[in-house]
Amino acid sequence: MRRGFHVVVLMLLLTALFGVTASAQDMMYSESPMLSSMVDSGELPAVEERLPASPRVVEPFKEVGQYGGTMRVGFTGNNPGWGGMWYVTGWENLVSWAPDFSGVVPNIAESWEISDDVRSYTFHLREGMRWSDGEPFTADDIIFYIDDVLFNEELLVGGPSADWLPREGAEDFTAEKIDDYTVRFNFANPYGTFLLNLAQWNGRHITWFPKHYLTQFHADYNDAVDDIVAETDGVEDWVGLFNLRASGPTDDTNNYFNNLDRPLLFPWIPTSVLGGSTQMTMVRNPYYWKVDTEGNQLPYIDEVIGVSYQDNEARNLALANGDIDYIKDATGREFFFDALDSGAPLNMSLPLSDAANSNSIHFNRNAQDPVLAEIFSDINFRIGMSHAINREEVIEIVHFGQGSPAQVGPVEDSPLYNERLANQYVAYDVDLANQYLDMVVPDKDADGYRLRPDGERLSFVLTVVNELAWQASWVQVAELLIGYWDAVGVEVLLNAVSDDTFTEQRENNNLEATMFTGEGGAGLTAILDPRYYVPGELMGMYGNGWFYWYTNALEATQIEPPEDIKEIRVAYEQVGQQPSLEGQIEAMSDLLEVAADNFWVIGISRPAPGFQPYHQRLGNYPDEWVKGWVEGVEKITYPEQWYIKQ
């Protein structure tokens, strides 16, 4: 899948320039029997009237599916969206990823044109496309978002800010309606990676706000909005009310699972909220605007039930039992392979992680203790610490032998692969480690621990988050690391904390050393999520204060980066301004050389191959896929074309 990336890079370029669409003209449409009976009884218009003139055509992954059935999805916790329902039943943007992650393809937008200076993007929407309540979706909805949400000074008090909008020049961004189905975006600076950003979570807001429904909650449109505020629980002004009803701009998008009458563009829409019982339910959107290659309106599956579990083990057992069909982020590899062997009604898919590494280890150059900050800034210290790690042993003990020693860097078949960045300083060599550390902190005390230049023992805290399923192995890794570092005379203390405490510590810059994920491996993800290659990004905790300086947030935590760091940021901004993908890759490759020189973070291992169990009755689920946040996790598997085998 990833091997074809070079070829596909070209395809992506072509797609980006011309906006290819599949032809759907002159198609005969069919619909789910559940909907035909509603059409017969006059509750719904005919399928031809519900679909846009040219619907988005999705090619089924394996075969044309069957209509009907209820899919049961198990999630942990009390938040259906983040628990997994968002990735399966939501997430539709102007463009989407091709199923093999080879580039972007049209989605809500039927086609687009890009100006030569990549400042201006013109999107053509699908004529006749409708919200889930049957109202038309047009350019007005997008313009409503830009004019009345993004640029509304009460809704966004700090000026226009959105994940898809570059900070630089945000004020000068404009959008114009050409006609009902055409909008043009004009950016202040060249923005070559806009489409790639649009395919991700970052792009969600542009098509998120149904104007016909939301104007009643907007002070500019409804003079009597205060009456609604008064009779609504939990809000104090119209801004709160708007956020509650729209689930945005500042409120969490996934709150829409609590609001049953909000129109959506998604394959399934919620019909009950989670509360008294342990389930929430969803039903197919009769106005969903995608069809398969034979003209069958998607999704195939009629209903979705989200089952809330408080604990992973119960969820795993339920899946092995056959009580549910799907779970996001399965844990317990051995349990599921055993269950598979002993005849549980499961199939196994093998997702490829898009990550660069199982972990990244950060030494905070902005640490509050200036002596520590000085030591952490010395590359020889980091090289020494890296050579001290027995990666083979970590892989054996923590990852059951899955993975190979590596630093944090794009993977081999990414066009951004940098051999040095991926493999430098990975050898386990205690003598070499000591040599490097001796260059920085040569003196030792009576107990054999190294002394700082000020004569105190070199001792610092490694803060590790220990809360969610995907952080489960981190403390174990940290304990091994502390052992290796102890062997070279560096005293490190473990502090395992909750998510909240971790955020507090980051925001107050109380971190000394810490550990996090390893994003930026597959394909172009290093450009899209450069946190471990370009300092000053969120979660770049090797320079924790710099991010806050760049975002101008939390004044007390801000630390102005030195000039050389600022230059790297400027170079990164230019990556996104390159009009061609080749140009972007070339510019980013130069930056990755700089990252290799600087050795920002230490890595452990390439991520182990993933596993994804699902119920046998689920059809059209891919056997292999690229899994990661950038790809929309499950969304890249096109859940609207999954079906239940009858």
Partner 1 sequence: MKKFLLRRAIYMVFTVWIITVIAFIVIQLPPGDYVTNMVTEMMASGTDDIDPAIIEQLRDQYGLNDPMHVQYLKWMRNIIVEGDFGYSLAFKRDARDLILERLPLTFVVTLSTVLFVWIVALPIGVFSAVRKYSLGDYIATFIGFIGLATPNFLFALILMYLSYKYGGRALIGLFSAEYVDAPWTMAKVFDLLKHLFIPMIIIGTSFTAGLIRTMRANLLDELNRPYVDAARAKGLSETRLLWKYPVRYALNPFVSTIGWALPGLVAGEVIVSIVLNLPTSGPVLFNALLEQDMYVASGFILVLSALTVIGTFISDVLLAILDPRIRLE
Question: How many Cα atoms within 13 Å fall on the side-chain side of residue 612?
Answer: 21
**Judged by CB under 8 A, which stretch of 103-111, 228-236, 358-366, 586-594 contacts partner 1?**
228-236
DSSP notation for 196-249: HHHTSGGGGGGG---HHHHGGG-TTT-TTHHHHHHTSTT-SSHHHHHHHHHT-S
| Rounded distance between C-alpha atoms, residue 87 and residue 506, angstroms | 28
Cβ pair 331, 79 in contact under 8 A:
no
Rounded least distance, CB 162 to partner 1, Å: 9
Cβ pair 12, 101 in contact under 8 A:
no
Q: In angstroms, what CA-CA distances link 40 with 267, 372, 505? A: 22, 74, 60
Nearest to 359 by CA among 333, 328, 379, 389: 389
Residue 233 is a binding residue for partner 1 (CB under 8 A): yes
Judged by CB under 8 A, the chain residues 282 through 311 that form the site for partner 1 are 308-311
Rounded least distance, CB 313 to partner 1, Å: 6
Judged by CB under 8 A, the chain residues 195 through 224 that form the site for partner 1 are 200-202
**Judged by CB under 8 A, which stretch of 126-134, 260-268, 276-284, 353-361 contacts partner 1?**
276-284
Residue among 122 and 517 whose Cβ is closer to partner 1: 517
Structure tokens at 617: 């009755």
Cβ pair 524, 97 in contact under 8 A:
no
Cβ pair 415, 5 in contact under 8 A:
yes
Rounded least distance, CB 306 to partner 1, Å: 12
Residue 255 is a binding residue for partner 1 (CB under 8 A): yes
Q: Which helix (H) or strand (E) holds 12?
A: helix 5-18
3-state secondary structure of 478: helix
Nearest to 643 by CA among 611, 610, 607, 618: 618
| Rounded distance between C-alpha atoms, residue 272 and residue 280, angstroms | 5
| Rounded distance between C-alpha atoms, residue 19 and residue 507, angstroms | 42
String marking each residue 585-624 x if it binds partner 1 according to CB under 8 A: ----------------------------------------
Could you say which of 417, 428, 449, 629 contacts partner 1 (CB under 8 A)?
629
Rounded least distance, CB 254 to partner 1, Å: 9
Structure tokens at 563: 């000039």
**Judged by CB under 8 A, which stretch of 99-107, 429-437, 551-559, 609-617 contacts partner 1?**
551-559
Rounded least distance, CB 221 to partner 1, Å: 20
Judged by CB under 8 A, the chain residues 74 through 103 that form the site for partner 1 are 77-79, 82
Q: Quick one: angle between helices 370-377 and 379-387, nearest 10?
A: 70
Judged by CB under 8 A, the chain residues 474 through 503 that form the site for partner 1 are 498-503
Residue 240 is a binding residue for partner 1 (CB under 8 A): yes
Could you say which of 21, 182, 215, 258 contacts partner 1 (CB under 8 A)?
258
Judged by CB under 8 A, the chain residues 314 through 353 that form the site for partner 1 are 314, 317-318, 320-321, 323
Could you say which of 42, 276, 370, 455 contacts partner 1 (CB under 8 A)?
276
Rounded least distance, CB 555 to partner 1, Å: 8
Residue 274 is a binding residue for partner 1 (CB under 8 A): yes
Q: What residue ranges bind partner 1 (CB under 8 A)? A: 72, 77-79, 82, 156-158, 161, 163, 167, 200-202, 233-237, 239-240, 243-244, 250-252, 255, 258-259, 272-279, 281, 308-311, 313-314, 317-318, 320-321, 323, 498-504, 538, 547, 551, 553-554, 629
